[in-house]
Chain A
Amino acid sequence: MDCEQVKILLMAQEDGEITSSQQEKLHKQLENCSDCSCLQYWQSFAETEAEMQKIKFVEPQEQAWNIYWDGIYNRLERRLGFIFVSFGAVILIAYTMYELLKELMWNVETPALVRAGLAIFIIGMIILFVSVVRERLVLRKHDPFERINK
């Protein structure tokens, strides 16, 4: 075990994160080198660590947190409303499209140009819908933030 590994294990010991097998290894190592300088390595850092733990950040007051929680709660509650509105809108749009098709597409009096325009519009909408659904499914499988490296 080199000096760096000893320092890492000493750090873990200080943090109370050392496992029993690591503790045993460290103990054996330190027995073999009683004047090891690694032992003193973290001593000078202890004061800095204590100071770091004392650092307090300016945070919102209790009352502000309560108002903040209300905002979260309301947004969670509203979600159900948005789901219902969205489903309702989908049904209404689908029905309107169906009626439009029935009125214009299947009507022999509708000019051919309007029917062609409608057919192209519907095909375009289907392509967009499939594309959006596929994108959503792919994003669900992959972390959208994985390309962000700090």
Chain B
Amino acid sequence: MSEEQNYIKNCQRGDRDSFEFIFNRYRQKAYRAALFITKNPQDALDALQNAFIRAYRNINRYDVDKSFYPWFYKILQNCCYTQLRRNKNNCEIKEISDMQLNPAWIVQRTEKHQNIITAINSLSAVDREILQLKYFQELSYKEIAEALKIPIGTVMSRLYSAKTRLRELLDKGE
């Protein structure tokens, strides 16, 4: 049993301190994901706090034999949507998917990074999501499949399409 599984088992027995290990392990990755969805650092932090609290309260529903992060990502995604709806007064979902990545959130903005972000922003929400899970969340195909509840084959074809479109956009821009 891995160190993480041990800590989760302790959490399932009600040990709140063990949850700090989980929090420290995933906080940055999860913050990045929340930022991608909410497009606002404060909303991302609020959603993240709610997600960690909800994850701890539902930790007994989590199957320790599976990866923790895809399970948590689903909770985080829901908390981000709740946060967006709360802030935007039940905004239309279209508004959410139309939101763009802000280059101001990036450390050391080079021209190449700027071009990549501009190209990613031009993609569809589905393409953006799969790319961010792969490159900015560094999830494996299996973890992406679990997080999005789709088969691995679909992950591969979606990723292929997203990368192809991104490549086309970057080639056009050059």
Residues of A that sit less than 8 Å from B by CB: 4, 7-8, 11-12, 15, 17, 44-45, 48-49, 51-60, 65, 68-69, 71-73, 75-77, 79, 143-145, 148-150
Q: Is B141 touching A15 in the complex (CB atoms < 8 A)? A: yes
Question: Chain B's nearest CB lies how many Å from the CB of A72?
Answer: 5
Q: Is B106 touching A56 in the complex (CB atoms < 8 A)? A: yes
Interface residue total, chain B, C-beta cutoff 8 A = 51
With A11-B159, A48-B170 given, can you name 13 additional A-B contacts, CB distance below 8 Å?
A7-B160, A17-B141, A48-B167, A51-B110, A51-B113, A59-B32, A68-B27, A69-B23, A72-B49, A76-B56, A150-B96, A150-B125, A150-B126
Residue contacts A-B, CB under 8 angstroms, 19 given? A7-B160, A8-B157, A11-B159, A12-B141, A17-B140, A48-B166, A55-B106, A55-B117, A57-B31, A57-B105, A58-B41, A59-B32, A65-B27, A71-B49, A73-B16, A76-B16, A145-B78, A150-B96, A150-B125
> Would A76 and B53 be within 8 Å (CB), given that A57-B32, A58-B106, A68-B45 are in contact?
yes
Q: Which of B90-144 contact A (CB under 8 A)?
A: 93, 96-97, 104-108, 110, 112-113, 116-117, 125-126, 129, 131, 134-136, 140-141
Q: Is B96 touching A12 in the complex (CB atoms < 8 A)? A: no
Q: Is B81 touching A45 in the complex (CB atoms < 8 A)? A: no
Q: Is A57 touching B81 in the complex (CB atoms < 8 A)? A: no
Q: Is A55 touching B116 in the complex (CB atoms < 8 A)? A: yes
Across the interface, B106 reaches (CB within 8 A) one of A45, A57, A143, A145, namely A57
> Would A55 and B113 be within 8 Å (CB), given that A8-B160, A76-B56, A150-B96 are in contact?
yes
Q: Is A57 touching B107 in the complex (CB atoms < 8 A)? A: yes
Cα(A59)–Cα(B31), bound, Å: 8
Q: Is B106 touching A69 in the complex (CB atoms < 8 A)? A: no
In the complex, what residues of A have CB within 8 A of residue B82's CB? 145
Residue of A nearest to B52 (CB): A72
Chain B, 74-86, contact with A by CB distance < 8 Å: what is the 0/1 string? 0001100110000
Across the interface, B163 reaches (CB within 8 A) one of A11, A65, A75, A76, namely A11
Question: Chain A's nearest CB lies how many Å from the CB of B71?
Answer: 14
Question: Chain A's nearest CB lies how many Å from the CB of B125?
Answer: 5
Cα(A150)–Cα(B20), bound, Å: 31
Interface check B150, CB cutoff 8 A = no
Across the interface, B116 reaches (CB within 8 A) one of A52, A58, A72, A76, namely A52
Across the interface, B167 reaches (CB within 8 A) one of A44, A71, A77, namely A44
In the complex, what residues of A have CB within 8 A of residue B159's CB? 11
Across the interface, A145 reaches (CB within 8 A) one of B20, B31, B81, namely B81
Cα(A77)–Cα(B41), bound, Å: 26
Q: Is B116 touching A48 in the complex (CB atoms < 8 A)? A: yes
Cα(A51)–Cα(B45), bound, Å: 26
In the complex, what residues of B have CB within 8 A of residue A148's CB? 81, 93
Q: Which of B137-172 contact A (CB under 8 A)?
A: 140-141, 156-157, 159-160, 163, 166-167, 170
